[in-house]
Structure 1
Amino acid sequence: MSQQVRAVVARSKGAPVSLETIVVPDPGPGEAVVRIEACGVCHTDLHYREGGISDDFPFLLGHEAAGVVEAVGDGVTDVAPGDFVILNWRAVCGQCRACLRGRPWYCFNTHNAEQRMTLTDGTELSPALGIGAFAEKTLVAAGQCTKVDRRASAAAAGLLGCGVMAGIGAALNTGSVGRGDSVAVIGCGGVGAAAVLGSKLAGAARIIAVDIDDRKLDTARRLGATHTVNSKESDAVDAVRDLTGGFGADVVIEAVGRPETYRQAFYARDLAGTVVLVGVPTPEMKLELPLLDVFGRGGTLKSSWYGDCLPSRDFPMLIDLYLQGRLDLDAFVTETIALDEVEKAFERMHNGDVLRSVVLL
């Protein structure tokens, strides 16, 4: 039978979110119902509320989540009721050209649940990133559930569902940061801070954190940055070059998503170095670079989508490192809040007061 649960819904563009009763159907073939234990408040949820992703209102918000599988539909074999899982928005299909070439982290046909959750009047909801986890329970494709060690804190584990994985993956997977490398991270919010942590995990010798907010730079230093640059006070490109013998960093990770910070990343890298764009630009943004500089500087310009992660590979490995005390995911949990405090959390996030507010259910 379907269930009625509490959830956070964005009904119209720019309007405050509301706590609503929604209907969660029984899982169909290939689907799972998950009882949510924790869900982080991500900028992407705010983008949905502001209509920056689509106008398919009403949205069921929330996607950085961990919880316990309650029920599965026909044909589901990878997870079972009682499994502790992290939800992901890269449920790979296994059949597209990327998957068949052995690159499932680029899957071009990721899938979501076929059925829709609804309001009690039957209005269909659009779940954020195909998840919708600011809810006591949610319906997802079973492939969006990745089983991990139950000993992990749900508040910390759930953050791998989006921002923290995006940052760590930008360093480990996309940027291929290696032992002894120099790395600069431009923008040290949640994703950039995670990129600092990923660079430390990879063994980078020099990690330069760049931001305009000293609070974020302090956090980056705690997570492994060896140097910090406040780009309000000094030129970011000159500072990175000064800290790397005049050459620039081997890998520069741009975690802001703006043309001006991308240009900084481009010129702050060493010759033949790598730029990784993990910050998300808005549709109207344009980038201008001298084509001769693109040619002459060589190297690699990459974008990183979800940290080029493969959840079935990366989530269990990172949770194991967390349980070993080698990956401080708890550092990203600034505060825990109730389901009806999401709107206030958006304001704190917008003001840069938190790395992550996490809803506990």
Structure 2
Amino acid sequence: MTPLRRGATTTAGPSVVRVQPNPAPTAMVWVQPGQNHECIAVPTVALAPGDALIAIELATICGSDVHTTQGHRSTPTPLVLGHEQVGHVVAIGDGAVTSTGQLLEVGERVVWSLTVGCDTCDTCVRGLPQKCETVRKYGHERLEAGWELSGGFASHTHVRRGTAIVPVSRSLPAAVLAPVSCGTATAVAALDAASAITPLDGTVVIVFGAGLIGLTACALAADRGARVIVVDPARHRRTLAMRFGAAATADPTLERDVPGSLAAALDEAGTRPLVAVEASGSVLAVASAIESLGTGGVAVLVGSVSPSAAVPLDPESIVRRLITLRGVHNYAPRHLEDAARFVETRHTEYPFDLLVGVTVALGDLDDGIEAAAGAGAVRIGVAPDLEPVKPCGAAREGQSHSG
């Protein structure tokens, strides 16, 4: 039987490890806009072969979590939100492994992928497990009996087989590692898509949006020898972009002849960008990303993850300039691995720790989401051990939360 941290017990059944940590794991359940999260306790966790139970050290609030709670995204409810986090393995099911196939060990500090794939369907076999035909996503699934700990806004997450689990450094600040499993890995996937079309070294790269994905894409591209222009309407985000390797920034709200405008930044670059990464989701930014490219360039669209107005497109211009359009949504395990290694090796060069502002207790999650909805920090942290969690009602075995 797998050893656990102090205060936990297990019982084993056929191919299942039943874990009963003490105290019981807790999770924050979201039901509908305008209603505060409800806290539940999960006394028993049944780990199937390949599963793991991970105690969360720190989670961060993604923009998609904010949009969900505001009612801007269609989501099955009730559910446990959150999909950016770092934690320690406290229990494992039989045969649980890391993303590289090594046996997972209790006590390892890890991050894990947003998605759970089957590894056998046509899409998984093609190397796109994030689009598995039966994909499930942490922080996106309706609460169900047996998988109540399905999101990051909890004391523990029940990580299922088919999830890429990546061991990470024990010495790095949690604020550097928690966002890796969403924005950081997605930025790696975006640059991977771009570099398949054109080399980054010596290339002008333009990034629209200085959020987590945009800033990380900036650092990645600069690290590979690109000259990066970051476009964002917020002055403090443009200032931050300079610390993430941007050679220049631009304010898209300025008229083209004004210093600091997008047109001025492109003129100063001396050559047209061959890579554009659109990480804001703005329709105008998508159009600008495509329009800004030089001959043979590639536009990687990352931010358009919600319904929006149509983007004007000049097909003749696309054809004559030999433009490539690529969409990136989530990432494959190799991107998560590369993201973890990048922040581990380059966190002293780029201030990833500054991306997480105030950290709230798990019981104060609603205050954290309100803060995340503002225009301040790129991410807000959520720490289960920051202070005692508000009293929770127990989730009875065999029943899911009623909502």
**TM class by smaller structure:** 0.7 to 0.9
Q: CA deviation at 1:330?
A: 1.5
1:179 aligns with 2:201: yes
Identity of aligned residues (%): 26
Question: 1:211 Cα shift?
Answer: 1.0
Q: Verify the 8 A CA contact 1:64 1:162 in the aligned structure 2.
A: yes
1:344 to 2:367 alignment: yes
The answer (yes or no) to whether the contact 2:252–2:262 under 8 Å persists in 1 is no
| CA displacement at 1:182 relative to structure 2 | 0.6
Structure 2 residue runs of 5 or longer lacking an equivalent are: 1-18, 98-102, 385-403
The 1:281/1:240 distance shift into structure 2, 3 A limit, reads farther
Cα displacement (A) at 1:209: 1.0
Report whether the alignment pairs 1:94 with 2:119.
Answer: yes
Identify the residue that residue 77 of structure 2 maps to in structure 1.
57
Specify the alignment match of 1:139 in structure 2.
158
| Residue 112 of structure 1: how far off its partner (Å) | 4.8
- Listed one character per residue, the Cα deviations across residues 86-141 of structure 1 (whole Å, up to 9, x for unaligned) are 0211445433335435x356653475599x9998xx878777xxx40111112121
TM-score under structure 1 length normalisation: 0.86
| Equivalent position of 2:58 in the other structure | 38
How many corresponding residue pairs?
349
Distance 1:284 1:182, change over 3 A: closer
Name the SS for the 2:311 alignment partner: coil
Aligned-partner SS, 1:26: strand
Structure 1 residue 275 displacement after superposition: 0.6
- Which amino acid is 1:85 matched to? V
> Closer, same or farther in 2 for the Cα pair 1:99/1:59, shift >3 Å?
closer
Distance, in Å, in 2 between the alignment partners of 1:48 and 1:256 is 17
Q: Does the CA contact (< 8 Å) of 1:273 and 1:299 recur in 2? A: yes
Q: Which residue of 2 is the match for residue 83 of structure 1?
A: 108
Q: Kindly provide the amino acid, as one letter, of the partner of residue 357 in structure 1.
A: I
TM-aligned CA deviation for residue 50 of structure 1 = 3.5
Aligned counterpart, 2:233: 212
Question: Structure 1 CA distance, aligned partners of 2:20 and 2:73?
Answer: 29
Could you report, residue by residue, the CA deviation over 1:249-278 in whole angstroms, capped at 9, with x for unpaired residues? 111111111221100001111121111111
CA distance in 1, matches of 2:298, 2:332: 15
Classify 1:309/1:146 alpha carbon distance in 2 versus 1 (closer, same or farther; 3 Å): closer
Letter in 1 for 2:367: K
Counterpart of 2:3 in structure 1 is none
| Residue number in structure 2 paired with 1:356 | 379
Larger Rg: 2
Match of 1:165 among 185, 193, 196: 185
Give the distance between the partners of 1:203 and 1:307, measured in 2 at CA: 23
Q: Does 1:17 align with 2:36?
A: yes
Q: Could you tell me how far apart the structure 1 residues matched to 2:222 and 2:181 are?
A: 20
Structure 2 residue aligned with 1:251, among 251, 275, 296? 275
Q: Distance in 1 between matches of 2:153 and 2:331?
A: 23
Contact 2:283 2:308 (8 Å CA) reproduced: no
SS in 2 for 1:243: helix
Cα pair 2:113 2:333 within 8 Å, conserved: no
Instruction: Give the deviation of 1:37 after TM superposition.
Output: 0.3
Shift of the alpha carbon at 1:17? 3.4
**1:228–1:312 CA distance, 2 compared to 1 (3 A):** closer
Report whether the alignment pairs 1:269 with 2:293.
Answer: yes
Offset at residue 320 of structure 1 (A): 3.5
Instruction: Name the CA distance, whole Å, in 2 between partners of 1:93 and 1:319.
Output: 28
| Between structures 1 and 2, the one with greater helix share | 1
- 2:180 aligned counterpart, secondary structure: helix
Cα gap change, 1:328 to 1:104, in 2 (>3 Å): farther
Give the one of 264, 276, 283 matched to 2:307.
283
User: Which of 237, 241, 257 does residue 266 from structure 2 map onto?
Assistant: 241
Answer whether contact 1:48 1:59 (CA < 8 A) is retained. Answer: no
Q: Structure 2 length normalisation: TM-score?
A: 0.78
Please give the secondary structure, in 1, of the residue aligned with 2:229.
strand
Work out whether residues 219 and 244 of structure 2, in 8 Å CA contact, stay in contact via their aligned partners in 1: yes
CA 1:113–1:257 in structure 2 vs 1: closer, same or farther (change >3 Å)? closer
Q: Tell me: CA distance 1:133–1:241, structure 2 relative to 1, closer, same or farther (3 Å).
A: same
